[in-house]
A = this chain, B = another copy of it.
Amino acid sequence: MQPQHTGTLHLIPVGLSEAPIDSWLPIAAQQQAAGLSNYIAENAKTARAFLKLLTLERPIQEIDIQTLTAKTDDQTIRQWLAPLKNHQSIGLVSEAGCPAVADPGARVVALAHDMGATVKPWTGPSSIVLGLMASGLDGQRFTFHGYAPVKPDERAKQLKQWEQLSARLSQTQILIETPYRNAAMFDSLLQTLNPKTRLCVACDVTGPNEWLRTRTVASWKNSPQPDLVGKPTLFLFQA
C-alpha cells in the first residue's frame, strides 16, 4: 500500500514460561528475530536469554541491546531508532509476552510511527489472549485493566465497579497481579464479587504447570483453593 522508505521495527514476542520456543513462536518470527543486530528491550538479561534460544546469524556479543525503562526519554529512544532511517531494522522485545502490551514498549512504537517507519507485529504468546480463550467468558467484549489497587478498601471498591461494568456491558474484565500478591488478590475476588459471577484463574500459562479453571465465585468458595503463590497468574471475571 506504501513504498518502504525506512527499515522496519519488528515487534517480537518472547516466552511467558520455560516452554520450548517451538510451542509459542512461529518459525518465521524466530528467523526474523535471529537476523536482527539491534534490539530495544525491557530487560537486557531476559532479552539475551531469548536470543540464546535462536539460531543467531552473528555472535550474541555483536547484537546491540538498549534497555528501555519508564525513565528513558523520547530523545534517547529517537537515537536508538535512527538506524531505521538507513533502512536498518530493529527488534523490540518485552520481558515476557508481546511487546507494547502490558509493558512500557508502546512509546517506542509511537515514536517509530512519528518517523514514518514500518512497524511489523509478529504473532506470539499473550497471557491476556490465551487466558481469555481458555476462560469460556465472553470474548466478544472485554477490558484489560492491568493491576487493581493494592489497598483493600480501594481494591474492593474498584472490583465492584468492574463487576457492575461487566454486567451492564456484557464485558469480561481482565486483571493481573504480581506473583507474591496472587493469593491475596484471589481472596479479595472471592470476598468482593457476586456469588454468581464467573471467575477464571489462569496460572503459569504456556508453562509446565499451566492451570486454567473457570467457576462461579460460589463454587470457588466450595473448592480446594489453588496454590498461586509465586506463579504468574491472570484473573478474568464476568458478572
Contact = CB atoms under 8 A, between A and B. Distances in A.
Contact of A130 (B105, B110, B123, B203): B123
A95 interface: no
Given A20-B28, A139-B101, A134 B119 contact: yes
Nearest to A97: B129
Contacts of A180: none
A141 B145 CA distance: 5
| Number of chain copies forming the complex | 2
Interface string A120-147: 1101111011111111111111111110
A106 B139 contact: yes
Interface in A84-130: 98-103, 105-113, 119-121, 123-126, 128-130
A109 B134 contact: yes
Given A203-B1, A213-B113, A132 B28 contact: no
Contact of A214 (B25, B98, B113): B113
Contact of A1 (B20, B111, B205, B211): B211
A136 B22 CA distance: 27
A121 B108 CA distance: 29
Interface in A197-239: 198, 203, 205-206, 209-215, 226-227
B141 A129 contact: no
B1 A132 contact: no
